[in-house]
Amino acid sequence: MAPFFGSFAVAGLMFARLCGVAACAAALIAGEARAQEPAAVARGARLAAEICAPCHDVGERGAGRGGAPEGKSRAGPSFREVAGAPGMNQRALAVFLRTPHASMPDIILAPDEIEALGAFIMSR
């Protein structure tokens, strides 16, 4: 009888893992959908203009380094370049914005600001 009950245990474990994977995927999808809310994008645009624009092209033009308006050079990539980077998503941006980088000023953002800025960047 042990193999019979053992196969149920294995099936139950596999089902639990599948449910866990499905829950994680649903959370990621919900996070991506929530991130694109117009209010979050608008708030992110304001933050980008105030905080990020000195070093990044945050506008629709997306010119990036060397192609900034009025011939000004930008230190960082355009937000369009950031959003289009392979593997880039809202979660990756959140991790990046919480991690200090030598090439960026030490800007501390609240979690809701990180979410809004990420939503704006991903909308580019």
Tokens of 116: 């809004």
Q: Which helix (H) or strand (E) holds 98?
A: helix 90-98
* pTM of the entire predicted model: 0.63
Three-state DSSP at 15 gives: helix
Nearest-angstrom CA–CA distance, 19 and 104 = 40
| Inter-residue contact 44 to 56 (CB < 8 Å) | no
Per-residue pLDDT of the chain in tens (124 residues, 90 and over written 9): 455 444 444 444 444 454 444 444 444 444 554 446 899 999 999 999 999 999 999 986 544 444 444 445 578 899 999 999 999 999 999 999 999 888 888 889 999 999 999 999 999 8
In contact, 120 and 53? CB cutoff 8 Å = no
**Cβ atoms of residues 101 and 55 within 8 Å:** no
